[in-house]
Structure 1
Amino acid sequence: MKIPARYSNLLFGGMLSVIMVTIISGTVTFINQGYDADFFSRWFRGFATAWPIAFPSVLVVAPFVRRVVSRITV
Structure 2
Amino acid sequence: MPAERPTIIGNIPKLPAKWATIVMPFILSGLMSGIISFINMLRNLGWIDGFMNLWFHNWMISWAFAFPIVLILLPLVRKLTGKLVDLPAPNSPK
With normalisation by structure 2, the TM-score equals 0.73
- Divergent runs of 4+, >2 A: none
SS of alignment partner, residue 40 of structure 2: helix
Aligned pairs for 1:36-51 within 5 A = 36-51=48-63
Q: Rg bigger for which structure?
A: 2
Give, as a single letter, the amino acid of the residue that structure 1 aligns with 2:46: G
**Aligned counterpart in structure 1 of residue 25 of structure 2, from 13, 38, 44:** 13
Alignment match, 1:30: 42
Unaligned 5+ runs, structure 1? none
- CA deviations on 1:29-60 (whole Å, 9 max, x unpaired) are 10111102211011111102111100000111
More RCO (CA 8 Å, sep 6+):
1
Q: Tell me how many residue pairs correspond in the alignment.
A: 74
RMSD over aligned Cα atoms: 1.0
With normalisation by structure 1, the TM-score equals 0.91
SS of alignment partner, residue 35 of structure 1: coil
State the identity %: 31
